[in-house]
Amino acid sequence: MLLNTAIVEDACRSGITALDLGESGGVAALIDYKERFGAAPVTYDKYRSETLSFSSLEKRTTAILKTAERLLTGEKWA
């Protein structure tokens, strides 16, 4: 709490009129905590971009292909 207090105080001294305290996720205790700093709920659109690592995709694809090959050839599992 001390760090958040320092952040809010510094923002006020700097003339900042809005500070993003992050999402509360509907957690009542977190909402109450933020309200102690004068926070008010803000509705906004959120966009998310997900990336897929090609090396991860390659590893998974290789594992799937090896499994399929074992199943098709009747190879014993180690």
**Annotated domain spans of the chain:** 2-73
Return all residues near 31 (Cβ < 8 A) that are at least 6 apart. 24, 41
The mean pLDDT value of the chain amounts to 84
Confidence category of residue 47, pLDDT binned at 50, 70, 90: confident
pLDDT at 15: 92
Tell me if residue 6 falls in helix, strand or coil: helix
Least confident among 7-11, 28-32, 52-56: 52-56
* Average pLDDT over every residue of 22-32: 90
Return the top range by mean pLDDT from 24-28, 36-40, 42-46. Answer: 24-28
